[in-house]
Amino acid sequence: MNVDEIVRWVLSVDRRLLLMKTIRHSRVVKASEVAQITDRSIQNISRAIKECEELELVECITPEKHTWKKYMLTDQGYHVLRELEKHEMI
């Protein structure tokens, strides 16, 4: 997928957009923090994280942990975030 397709993919499901909006203000996030900030369930946000991980927008920086994992944007994630911001979609 090119960047424009990924931007449309993020915009197509609100949980993905909420994740991107939240993670742009923090270098590192946990699913529980994003869930609390966005008033969504942890399961909903965990699914968004998993989806974004599959497209290499976010990566887990604590893969050895089974709970309370921490995530951050990848270079591709920053690029997509900049595109979202440039077009005032976020």
Q: What is the CATH number of the domain that holds 67?
A: 1.10.10.10
Low-confidence ranges of the chain (pLDDT < 70): none
Strand-pairing partners, residue 73, are 58
* Strand 58-60 with 70-73, pairing: antiparallel
For the stretch 10-27, pLDDT in tens is 999 999 999 999 999 888
Q: List the domain range (segments joined by +) for residue 75.
A: 3-85
pTM: 0.91
Assigned domain for 38 exists: yes
* Strand 58-60 with 29-30, pairing: unpaired
Assigned domain for 35 exists: yes
Integer distance in angstroms from the first to the last C-alpha of the chain? 20
